[in-house]
């Protein structure tokens, strides 16, 4: 995850709150917390704090873009057949009450998993990671997972059953330029060679 000054919790109603601030008798606890975060960020890197503040109040859709599906999106992990079906990059992830913004990028990976075996199997994507240039790795962004309501990354699958898993990773913009791979713990080396799915 990015250092504290690079990620900022934002109240989902921040813009309306700013518009009606004059009507409030006193700041709420959320407002005070946000103000303290902004002050800390400004002390550490004023320019970065300003950029992040602009992202935080932007429309989430304005920071979101759909990335091409990988050319070879499949991987076998024992009886489990895995396939990347969607990739999306954004700077803001929304929850019911709050949003999370980053100066980097949140990469949303949607993975379809099917149990092709004859017995029940467990899909465990909790230790999935992205691998970039120079073997740099990024684990699943747990706080974003919880915020987006996609925290559950372990599930039992009956024979023939399929389900989609959604994983969020926080990576620098440069990492999206190419060379990223999704590594799944326990995946068998197969046609992809080393138990990973190239996201190019």
How far, in Å, CA of 199 to CA of 133, rounded? 13
Assess whether 83 and 177 both reside in one domain.
Answer: yes
Sort 94 into a burial class: Cβ within 10 Å, 0-12 / 13-18 / 19+. Answer: middle
Q: What is the CB neighbour count within 10 angstroms for residue 157?
A: 19
Assess whether 129 and 148 both reside in one domain.
Answer: yes
State pLDDT tens for residues 61-101.
Answer: 778 999 999 999 999 988 999 999 999 999 988 887 888 88
How far, in Å, CA of 3 to CA of 64, rounded? 22
Is residue 89 helix, strand or coil?
strand
- CATH classification at residue 190: 2.60.40.1240
Assess whether 49 and 69 both reside in one domain.
Answer: no
Assess whether 119 and 173 both reside in one domain.
Answer: yes
Domain count, the chain: 2
Assess whether 47 and 90 both reside in one domain.
Answer: no
> Which pLDDT band, with edges at 50, 70 and 90, does 17 fall under?
very low
State pLDDT tens for residues 141-185.
Answer: 999 999 999 989 999 999 999 999 999 999 999 999 999 999 997
Name which residue leads in pLDDT, 95 or 109.
Answer: 109
Name which residue leads in pLDDT, 57 or 8.
Answer: 57
Assess whether 131 and 53 both reside in one domain.
Answer: no
Assess whether 91 and 11 both reside in one domain.
Answer: no
Q: Which domain holds residue 18?
A: 4-59
How far, in Å, CA of 99 to CA of 104, rounded? 15
pTM more than 0.85: no
Q: Which of these, 38, 8, 14, lies nearest to 100 by C-alpha position?
A: 8
Assess whether 112 and 165 both reside in one domain.
Answer: yes
- How much is the pLDDT for 56? 63
Complete DSSP assignment for 122-185: EEE-TT-EEE-GGG-EEE--HHHHHHHT----EEEE-TT-EEEEEEEEEE-GGGGGS--EEE-T
pLDDT at 12 over 50: no
Kindly report which listed range (3-17, 99-113, 114-128, 175-189) carries the lowest average pLDDT score. Answer: 3-17
Assess whether 51 and 103 both reside in one domain.
Answer: no
> Which pLDDT band, with edges at 50, 70 and 90, does 33 fall under?
low
């Amino acid at each position: 995850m990015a250092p504290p000054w690079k990620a900022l919790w934002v109240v989902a109603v921040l813009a309306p709150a700013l518009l009606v601030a004059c009507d409030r008798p006193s700041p709420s606890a959320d407002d005070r917390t946000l103000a303290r975060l902004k002050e800390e960020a400004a002390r550490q890197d004023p320019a970065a704090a300003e950029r992040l503040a602009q992202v935080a109040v932007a429309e989430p859709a304005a920071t979101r873009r759909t990335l091409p599906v990988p050319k070879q999106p499949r991987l076998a992990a024992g009886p489990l057949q895995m396939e990347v079906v969607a990739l999306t990059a954004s700077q803001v992830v929304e929850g019911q009450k709050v949003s999370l913004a980053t100066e980097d990028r949140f990469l949303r990976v949607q993975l379809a998993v099917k149990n092709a075996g004859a017995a029940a199997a467990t899909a465990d994507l909790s230790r999935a990671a992205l691998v970039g240039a120079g073997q740099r790795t990024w684990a699943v962004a747990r706080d974003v997972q919880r915020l987006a309501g996609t925290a559950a990354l372990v599930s039992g699958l009956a024979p023939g059953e399929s389900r989609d898993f959604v994983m969020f990773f926080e990576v620098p913009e440069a990492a999206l330029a190419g060379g990223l791979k999704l590594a799944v713990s326990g995946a068998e080396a197969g046609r992809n060679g080393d138990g990973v799915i190239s996201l190019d």
